[in-house]
Structures are given as structure tokens and as C-alpha cells.
């Protein structure tokens, strides 16, 4: 049974050369049991068939094309300005939502519950589940828990639009911008969990290159230095553990 009553959800799909899995991702939005949504599709200057696939959906999808390629968090901020809904949800072009994802989260969405996330499972390139599941995730004041271990996948989130527009993504990041956003939000807002899987997150094969490893290390350092500069170490002493872990991994 489909449900159409309730707040409009803007589904933000950012895509760069995502033709391989894109139709499967978009179809999983159209298959939602909760149907009061729009897709804000941000084509990040793709050179493949992304545009033709996205524009083959004539209803409820609005297509935007970036004039030049940017990092993903710049793209998300630009696309966010196009969102008209009361809430925003994210779906990467190679991931899949389970059919009741939006319905489960809209049931919890309120003035007191502005940030809601759900569990996820990993799938491989063929769509087969790998066995990894993150489902029993906590709710509440999650700052220290997130620094210890981030259990939030961006594809599993539903968030109040005005709140998201107030915080936005830190565009310095290329890889860790979503994690940084969850930590910043968690310092002033409770985060509510749907303790079941709502998203299938596709994992790609291949090792991380040395360049990406260097970027990852630089971003982790940027995160903890910014965090300590803004908050010190006494309120959230777990940041000391994060800093030590980062530097030890940097030595390996």
C-alpha cells in the first residue's frame, strides 16, 4: 500500500558518470511506499549517459547539470539550494533504497526528531549482499559515539531541510564531509534511529590508492584539528583517541 500524505521529501541524487547503476537507484525511489517526494537530480558534469537516463523519468524528477565538475560536497550544497521539501534524503547513484525507507522515517519525523537515520547492508557490484549489516544503531546524543565509530550512511538519512541548509557540508572535504556534518549536527541535536536496514550500499572492488590514502589522512587531521579548535578536549575526550588512532594509521 502506498502513502502520499505527509511532508514533501526532496531526494537529492548527486551523480558523476553513474550510468552503470543509476536506473536501479532511481527505480528504488519510485518504488517507495511513501510517495510524497521529489527527486533533485544533480548531474556533476557527467560525460556518459547519465543525463539521458535521468531525463527518461518524466515525473517527479528535476534535472540540473553543473557547469563544471566539483567535489561531491560542493555539488551537494549546490543541489541542496534546489530542494523544496520539508525534509531531504540522499541517495548515491550506485546505491539502493528498500521500499519502506521513507515511510519508516517519515513516521518519526517531527519538530523534535529532525535527523533520522536507518541501517544499511553492503552489496557487491552485482547487487548481491556481502554479509555486512549495520542495523542496530543508537539514538540520542551521539557525538562521542560517532567519533568512536561512524554508523551513519548518507543514503540512510532523512533530515529537516532548514536545519541542513543552516549547517551545510564543509566543502574542504572530498571524502569525509558527511561524517563531519553528522558530528556537527549531533552536538546540538538528538539523532533518531530506525533500527532496521533501509539502504543497500554498493561496495566497489579495488584497493585505495596511495593518493587517496594521503587525502584520507589529511582530512582526518583537518577534522580533529578543527574539532579541538572549536570544542577543546574536555567535553569530548574521545577526540584524543581519534587523534592518536589517526596518527598511528598514518605511520603504517
Same domain? For 179 and 215 the reply is: no
Strand (E) or helix (H) holding 227: helix 210-231
Q: pLDDT by residue (tens digit) across 215-241?
A: 999 999 999 999 999 999 999 999 999
The confidence band for 183, taking pLDDT boundaries of 50, 70 and 90, is very high
Measured distance CA(49)–CA(27) in Å, rounded: 16
Q: What is the pLDDT of residue 206?
A: 47
Beta carbons of 178 and 229 less than 8 angstroms apart: no
Same domain? For 75 and 119 the reply is: yes
Q: pLDDT by residue (tens digit) across 110-147?
A: 999 999 999 999 999 999 999 999 988 899 999 999 99
Q: pLDDT by residue (tens digit) across 8-18?
A: 999 999 999 99
Q: What is the pLDDT of residue 140?
A: 96
- Contacts of residues 230-233 at CB distance under 8 Å and 24 or more positions apart, as own/partner, are 231/187
Same domain? For 21 and 59 the reply is: yes
Measured distance CA(94)–CA(73) in Å, rounded: 17
Same domain? For 107 and 230 the reply is: no
Measured distance CA(245)–CA(120) in Å, rounded: 25
Identify whether 3 is part of a domain.
no
Same domain? For 117 and 77 the reply is: yes
Measured distance CA(9)–CA(223) in Å, rounded: 30
Q: pLDDT by residue (tens digit) across 62-113?
A: 999 999 999 999 999 999 999 999 999 999 999 999 999 999 999 999 999 9
Please determine, for residue 26, whether its predicted confidence score (pLDDT) is greater than 80.
yes
User: Which three-class secondary structure state does DSSP give residue 48?
Assistant: coil
Q: What is the pLDDT of residue 210?
A: 60
Identify whether 35 is part of a domain.
yes
Q: What is the pLDDT of residue 155?
A: 97
Same domain? For 140 and 236 the reply is: no
Residue that has been written with the C-alpha cell 561496495 in this structure: 203
- Domain, as residue range, for 195: 9-202
Beta carbons of 82 and 41 less than 8 angstroms apart: no
Measured distance CA(94)–CA(200) in Å, rounded: 9
Measured distance CA(37)–CA(89) in Å, rounded: 10
Identify whether 247 is part of a domain.
yes
Residue 15 grid coordinates: 551523480
Distances (CA, A) of 189 to 38, 80, 178, 183, 193: 26, 20, 16, 10, 13
pTM, to two decimals = 0.94
**Phi, psi for residue 236 in degrees, rounded to 5:** -130, 75
- pLDDT (mean) for 26-48: 98
For the chain, the domain total comes to 2
Amino acid at each position: 500500500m502506498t502513502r502520499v500524505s505527509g511532508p514533501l521529501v526532496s531526494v537529492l541524487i548527486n551523480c558523476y558518470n553513474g550510468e552503470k547503476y543509476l536506473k536501479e537507484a532511481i527505480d528504488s525511489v519510485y518504488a517507495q511506499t511513501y510517495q510524497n517526494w521529489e527527486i533533485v537530480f544533480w548531474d556533476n558534469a557527467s560525460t556518459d549517459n547519465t543525463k539521458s537516463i535521468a531525463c527518461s523519468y518524466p515525473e517527479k524528477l528535476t534535472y540540473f547539470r553543473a557547469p563544471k565538475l566539483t567535489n561531491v560536497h560542493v555539488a551537494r550544497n549546490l543541489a541542496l539550494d534546489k530542494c523544496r521539501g520539508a525534509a531531504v534524503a540522499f541517495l548515491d547513484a550506485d546505491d539502493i533504497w528498500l521500499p519502506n525507507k521513507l515511510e519508516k522515517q517519515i513516521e518519526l519525523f517531527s519538530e523534535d526528531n529532525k535527523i533520522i537515520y536507518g541501517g544499511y547492508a553492503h552489496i557487491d557490484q552485482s547487487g548481491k549482499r556481502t554479509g555486512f549489516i549495520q542495523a542496530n544503531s543508537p539514538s540520542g546524543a551521539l557525538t562521542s559515539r560517532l567519533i568512536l565509530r561512524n554508523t551513519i550512511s548518507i543514503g540512510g538519512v532523512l533530515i529537516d531541510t532548514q536545519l541542513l541548509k543552516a549547517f551545510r557540508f564543509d566543502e574542504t572535504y572530498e571524502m569525509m564531509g558527511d561524517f563531519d556534518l553528522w558530528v556537527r549536527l549531533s552536538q546540538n541535536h538528538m539523532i533518531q534511529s530506525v533500527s532496521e536496514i533501509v539502504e543497500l550500499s554498493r561496495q566497489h572492488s579495488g584497493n585505495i590508492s596511495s593518493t587517496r590514502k594521503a587525502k584520507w589522512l589529511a582530512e582526518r587531521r583537518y577534522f580533529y584539528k578543527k574539532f579541538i579548535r572549536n570544542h577543546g578536549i574536555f567535553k569530548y575526550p574521545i577526540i584524543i583517541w581519534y587523534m592518536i588512532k589517526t596518527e598511528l594509521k598514518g605511520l603504517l
